[in-house]
Structure 1
Amino acid sequence: MLPAHPRLLRLAILPAALCAALYAHAQQTPQVEVQGSTANYNARRDDTAMRIVVGHDEIVRYGDTNLLDVLKRIPGVIVNGAAGRGGEIRMQGLGSGYTQVLVNGERPPGGMQADTLAPDTVERIEVLRAPSAEFSNEGIAGTINIVLKKAASKPQRELKLGYGVGRDTHSPSASLHLANRRDAFTWDVAGSLVHDRFRGEVPGREEEADAAGRRTMLRTTAGHEDGRMTTLNLAPKLGWKLDGDMLELESYLNLNRFRVDVNAPTATLLGPLPAYPDKRIAMDNDNDTVRSMLHWMHALESGARLDAKLGVSAGRTDNISTRTAGGNPQVAPLTRTIASRGRDRGLRTSGKLTVPLIEAHALAVGWEGAYDRRSDARRETDYLDPAATIPGGDEHYSGHVARLAAYAQDEWQLTPQLAAYLGARWEGVRIHADGSSFGSARSQSGVFSPVLQLLYKLPGTKEDQLRLALSRTYKAPGMDSLLPHRYISVNNSPAEPDTEGNPKLKPELALGLDAAWEHHWAEGAMLSLSASTRRIDDYARSLVLFDGRRWISLPSNVGKARTHSLQLETGFPLPALIDGAPPLELRANVARNWSSVDGVPGPDNRLDEQVPLSANAGVDYQGERMTAGANFGFRSGGRVAVAANQAVWLHARRELELYAAWRLDQTSQLRISAANLLGMDMVNERSYLDTASGALLRSRVVNVGHPSLKLTLESRF
């Protein structure tokens, strides 16, 4: 059950009491009939709140097998890494928790990897640059809400079979969608299975120079990885339409199997040998998540609407890592097997009551509550001598995270030109954990977040409008960032430190301002210029320290920070610009980001490895029997100062993608898509300056990239 904390309980009761009072009022409110058409509705143009909505047709256009590849084409969104392998989603160039990712408006349950969701199971993606009170405000850079498909309103049967291939990759995939209805009952099931087989080169380089600039150490690593990943997504849904009510049961199952074997022999060309010149790591990781949500919708005759949800979730993570290392006669060989097991259980509830109290108003109050419990056990053994005792080899911890939130929001039309959205949300988080190696760790925080958004349509024109948003957002530390539990590296150094949580870590708070000018000059044609700024208190980042024995990376609050962003975006059908032009849709966007951290001396003291410049340009063709398109993405690089003696280098990346689909008959089509046609690598480069000796250590790791091609047969039957 939830912790019995008086303030939290009062705030939990408050929205329920408001819902009850408004519910009683709504029963007595005269019925209001609203007439209008949604045929020409455009969320980007018509909603008071700032948001971008990407529909299902656009999501599946390139035949992607995971959402990470879809998100990188959305304006203002940047993606680093690969799905299931540490991929990171960024807005305003910021990641590591600054961009909030939700599934159906809620945090994914423990262990669920949102980036491995199948695009075929997604109805739409909502990108919120400024927050709303209805969703958690734990997204300083912005929020991405992934809305899964609802039960279909008409029978559907669709099968997709695909095969992707690259120089060192093979990726067969299949997806199936079945739906039907009978009277008041509907059912829908969507599933996908993807198997990725990959191998590749991961070369590395590490060098050190003394205070005079003389090179004192040089090492090169001929890294090689060989692995596979299998992902199963299953999303069954049931719906019942009752008298005045709608009841839905939605479930989601995500199974992920990841295997990788990394061989990383290191050659020392200058200087001393590392502790383990020859290193090999074999890892098996199983991650399973299941979530079920019961959704009740009740419509009143007055026009009021009550939505209530109750859900449960469970997750399982099993990881076995075998480390074999040696090659230095001064150090005994390393023969370790590390087995860890994590279990997640969750219970959550939410509700919202929307009441038309007066004309042109849409008042809503709601609540959210969640209780997630996690247990984690880790055992380290010597596989050559299983009976040997390893200090600190057995560790375990268990903990829980309790969240309560209450919110109210109102959206109304002040004048024919001016619409306003006003909301307020209080959200409290309590974290408690007990572990065999650290005793007990606790954290408690509460944030009140007011939100104001305005939409002003310029007089005398139907094309131009202005937007303004004021908000308060935050970033709470997760359990892993708080627990003083240490994860040990093999070759411990400033370039490869251990990692450890910090129980003294405080949440980061931000005040934000967003503004935009939009010009909608034809159906489907838009030009937008937007700007945003955030001031962040208690900014946190990971610092590399030496504790007297080993190097560790420790998250720490380093002071205040500021970030600013400017974005230009356009999209339009070519016939809207040129009469008689072919049916082409053109789109382009460019974003420039700046930031500074007060606790880190400049220059280049940017937030969270922030990407300074990103851009996309694309074109789509819609013919009678064929559709085709291309997208080119770019993001710049540069140096980022993490601390006075730490830096990270971001490397520029250019990515070109193509797709084409041919209609074979009324029910089938063939789709071909190509990714990373320029063969760009992913590069990780860091430096550490020893302030005592003046020695500078630099490391560089490269994941070599190659183009890939995928063929998919899509059939409705």
Structure 2
Amino acid sequence: MYILAPIRMTLLAAALASAFPALAQQTTTSAPKTDAAQSASDQKMQKVEVRGMADSYDPRRDDTATKIVVTQEEIAKYGDTSVVDVLKRVPGITVSSPNGRGGEVRMRGLGAGYTQILINGERAPAGFSIDSLSPDVIERIEVLRAASAEYSTQSVAGTVNIVLKKVVRAGQREFKIGARTGSGFQGPTANLQLSDKLGKMSYSVAASVMAEQFGRDVLSDENAFDAVGVPVQMRDIAGAEDGRLKLFNLAPRLNWALEGGDTLTSQSFVNSARFRLHNRQTTSTTLGAPAPYPVLDSSVRSDNDVVRTEVNWVHKLADGAKLDVKASLIGGWNTTDNRRWTPAGAPRAVDNLVHLEADEQGATTVGKYSKTIMQGHQLGMGWDGGWSVRNDSREEFEAGARVFPALPKGEESTSKVARLALYAQDEWSLTPRLSVYLGARWEGIRTTTEGNTFDTGRSRSSVWSPVLQTLWKIPDTKGDQVRFAVTRTYKAPSFQQLIPRRQTSIDNRSTDPDFAGNPDLQPELALGFDASYEHYWAEGALFSISGSMRRIDGYTRSLVNFDGARWVAMPMNAGEASTRGLELETKFPLKALVKDAPAIDLRASVSANWSKVDGVPGPDNRIDGQTPLSSTLGIDYKTGQLTTGASFVWKQGGLVRISDRQTATLQTRRDLEATALYKFNPKYQLRVALSNLLGQDFVNQGSFLEEGRGLVERETRFKAGPSVRATLELKF
């Protein structure tokens, strides 16, 4: 197995490094150059390297690679209880939530795995939901718009790297207690943060808990029309759901300062989520045949746990070189029960229970060697390897009896993944105003899936990803600069997409089909171009315009077909797709325009996206779920002990043609939020946040041209309303 071949790994890493001898890498240890350094003469710059202080370093402005960093202060500003709520205000990021709970994070409007989500630079196990992560255990969020060789290049749209608490403040003691309430939900929250230094050792602990009870109405209608548009079916579905959610996060960290400047760090992360949901649907038919199940109850019971621990050793070598090695263990466990049943006396009885269990364990090792080989020229190389095993089981019962009696433990499968990546990266400050980042990453993945209901499937793929990024600070300007990047990225199939086992639906139809994986599914490959212009015109003031383009080969679509007995959805590599984007952003303090203005900060951004999928007839043959246009507006004001702010996020909807027979309609959303923070004294402060002030419901719409029924249109509306969160923050 190539994952266990250190000699080959070392040779390949050396070959990558030697392929680019004249360039140098971007590393987090290289300090940025200040404006003063830029205005100095070239000759002086060869003799003296002027460095900015740590608090003046702006990674977005000074790093060669395009990066936005959301600090802990910005994360805590709106008192969010979920990291998803934090990300929806970041320029260029949209959050798609079909029902108002959680949501999928999208860059360039692309979801479905095109946006890479990392925790401390590594992927979370399957089943982990990012919306269960509390902002209080996060140190910062890094948004990388273009790929870098150091991280996995499974980032067609970009990468969101969530960095857990790292900074240790001596004697830090903070406790937060709060409550949330809104239209149909309420619950308490609590957070604790402790940190201190004990000689050469320091420690920090961040913990959070949240509980929520909810109940709301879900309204749907389903109508069918014949070939000339005459209605042949009209149904109204009234749903009432109630449930509860409990979340727990814990992130302890230990640091040791060793001899010779070495450091040793141990960091762990525990995430636990408990979700319960019950829903009753009552269907009334005013035209056409009655519904198969006029009254149908359903419930979901899901328990998910994730444990991750890592040890990080940083060793300083001679001549300023550094070796950074990290080893991690990770485990995830999920149990889910999905049940549907009809009340006693129903004309068509059903009592179906599907019990799912999944567990995943794995280990990773990451290493990086970096060295400054000349002034302003730094070279690095490293590896990123991992191995994981995932076990899945599925048991189905009808009226308490096992559906497949020949399988006493149900349908079982085991998936094994071996992964190895080798990379070299180089960043070189050619002049005080021009820097170049060049990297190359080879990443190989081997997957084996075996089960008791299908033949063993094997998938092996490798991707070679060159990366080029440049930063040019325009001469005779104080803060104008241009960026350009060329990247090759990819998107690998998920476990669920590869496993050929069929997952059946109760009321099988085109709008609710069975699902089966495709073991022959191949990675999608993308070639990307990014360019941007940035203008820094005052302290804290920015205007930028950026454009991007991606060409995706082997684009994966979920195709719904009738196999003669049932409707089945299956992912397929179906041709090519392309996407383009344009983004404008500005932020500035009002004092940059009016000298004696109050302490008001303003920010705004607009993102437009276009895409086209070959093999799907137009118009509107866009990539499924892509947000065509989004914008954000924000204002923050501070006076004395009071800090207030407001944020407005708008997302355009529109029709998406998924196939020649299937469409989906994205909802236009308007989210208005407001926050206020009052500091009673240095130890006590109260934060109040209001969200969904416009009280907009969450709506899903779609249509399918179905044989025998004609055009079927379905709309589902999840009722929602404004909510308020109040948090008392204490330091002791």
Instruction: Give TM-score, length-normalised by structure 1.
Output: 0.94
Once the two structures are superposed, the pairs formed by residues 216-227 of structure 1 within 5 Å of their partners are 216-227=232-243
Alignment partner, residue 446 of structure 2: 430
The residue aligned with 1:275 is 292
Whole-angstrom CA distance in 2 between matches of 1:34 and 1:458: 20
Partner of 2:712: 697
The answer for the alignment partner of 1:450 in structure 2 is 466
Aligned match of 1:715: 730
What displacement does 1:344 show?
Answer: 0.9
Q: Secondary structure at the match of 1:12?
A: helix
Contact (CA 8 Å) 2:65, 2:470: kept in 1 or not? yes
1:493 aligns with 2:490: no
Query: 2:13·2:424 contact (CA, 8 Å) conserved in 1?
Result: no
Alpha carbons 2:600, 2:638 under 8 Å: kept:
yes
- Per the alignment, residue 520 of structure 2 pairs with 504
Q: Name the CA shift for 1:19/1:698 in 2 (closer, same or farther; >3 Å).
A: closer
| 8 A contact 1:632–1:654 mirrored in 2 | yes
Structure 1 pair 581/329, CA: closer, same or farther in 2 (3 Å)? closer
1:66 paired to 2:63: no
Instruction: Give the Å deviation of 1:5.
Output: 7.7
User: What displacement does 1:486 show?
Assistant: 1.6
Aligned partner of 1:249 in structure 2 is 266
Comparing 262-271 with 648-657, greater Cα deviation is found at 262-271
Give the counterpart letter for 1:302 in structure 2: D
Aligned length in residues: 702
Alpha-carbon shift at residue 84 of structure 1 (Å): 10
The gaps in structure 2 that reach 5 residues or longer are 20-46
The 3 A distance-change label for structure 1 pair 412 and 300 is same
User: In structure 1, how many angstroms separate the alpha carbons of the residues matched to 2:403 and 2:264?
Assistant: 57
Write the distance in 2 (CA, Å) between the matches of 1:51 and 1:675: 28
Structure 2 residue corresponding to 1:317, chosen from 334, 337, 355: 334
Q: Distance in 1 between matches of 2:431 and 2:321?
A: 23
Structure-1 residue corresponding to 2:247: 231
Could you say if the C-alpha distance between residues 105 and 649 of structure 1 is closer, same or farther in structure 2, counting changes exceeding 3 Å? same
Partner of 1:293: 310
1:564 to 2:561 alignment: no
Match of 2:687 among 658, 671, 675: 671
After superposition, the C-alpha distances for 1:301-328 in whole angstroms (9 at most, x for unaligned) are 4221110001101111111222203799
The amino acid of 1:708's aligned partner reads: S
The residue identity in structure 2 corresponding to 1:685 is Q
Q: Could you tell me how far apart the structure 1 residues matched to 2:103 and 2:438 are?
A: 34
TM-score where L is the length of structure 2: 0.93
In structure 1, the partner of 2:147 is 131
Deviations 1:554-602 (A, max 9, x none): 1111101110000000000110111100001100000010000111111
- 8 Å contact kept, 1:110–1:314: no
Deviation at 1:437, TM superposition (A): 1.6
Residue 357 of structure 1 aligns to a residue whose secondary structure is strand
Question: Partners of 1:374 and 1:323 in 2: how far apart?
Answer: 27
Which of 372, 380, 397 is the aligned partner of 2:413?
397
- Letter of the 1:406 counterpart: L
Describe the superposition over 1:149-187 as per-residue Cα deviations: whole angstroms up to 9, x where unpaired. 115042200000010101211021000000111110111
1:151·1:186 contact (CA, 8 Å) conserved in 2?
A: no
Offset from partner CA, 1:633-686 (integer Å, 9 cap, x none): 000001000011111001100000000010111211001000000011111111
Alpha-carbon offset, residue 86 of structure 1: 5.8
Query: Which letter does structure 2 place at the counterpart of 1:618?
Result: G
| 1:583 is aligned to 2:580 | no
* 1:472 matched to 2:499: no
1:107-138 CA distances to partner (integer Å, 9 max, x unpaired)? 11333222221101111111111111001110
Task: Please give the residue correspondences for 1:617-696 in structure 2 after superposition, counting only pairs within 5 Å.
Answer: 617-690=633-706, 695-696=710-711
Cα separation, partners in 2 of 1:374 and 1:463, compared to 1, 3 Å = same
2:717 is paired with a residue whose SS is strand
Aligned partners of 1:682 and 1:704 also within 8 Å: yes
Q: Does 1:14 align with 2:31?
A: no
1-side partners of 2:513 and 2:70: how far apart?
40
Unaligned runs of 5+ in 1: 23-31
What is the CA-CA distance between 1:392 and the residue it aligns to?
7.5
Amino acid at match of 1:709: V
CA positional deviation for 1:262 = 1.1
State the alpha-carbon separation in 2 of the partners of residues 84 and 695 from structure 1: 31
Contact 1:211 1:694 in 2 (8 A): no
Partner of residue 534, structure 2: 518
User: 1:96 aligns to what SS in structure 2?
Assistant: coil
Residue equivalent to 1:349: 365
Q: Distance in 2 between matches of 1:20 and 1:89?
A: 34
| Paired residues for 1:596-615 under 5 Å | 596-615=612-631
- Separation in 2, partners of 1:112, 1:122: 16
Partner of 2:32: none
Q: Deviations over 1:281-304 (max 9, x none)?
A: 111100001000000011234221
1:338 & 1:153 partners in 2: Cα distance? 48
SS in 2 for 1:57: helix
> Where do residues 73-88 of structure 1 align in structure 2 (5 Å cutoff)?
73-81=89-97, 85=101, 87-88=103-104
| Distance of 2:612 and 2:502 partners within structure 1 | 30
Structure 1 runs of 4+ aligned residues shifted over 4 Å read 8-11, 15-22, 32-35, 82-86, 326-330, 387-393
Q: Is the 8 A contact 1:14 1:406 kept in 2?
A: no
- Call closer, same or farther: CA 1:473–1:17 in 2, change over 3 Å: closer
Contact 1:49 1:454 in 2 (8 A): yes
Contact 1:425 1:450 in 2 (8 A): yes
Residue 25 of structure 2 corresponds to which residue in structure 1?
Answer: none
Aligned to 1:214: 230
Q: Distance in 1 between matches of 2:679 and 2:276?
A: 37
3-state DSSP of counterpart to 2:623: coil
Q: 2:537 and 2:48 mapped to 1: Cα distance?
A: 31
The separation in 2 between residues aligned to 1:379 and 1:132, in whole angstroms, is: 42
The two structures, once aligned, show a CA RMSD in angstroms of 2.2
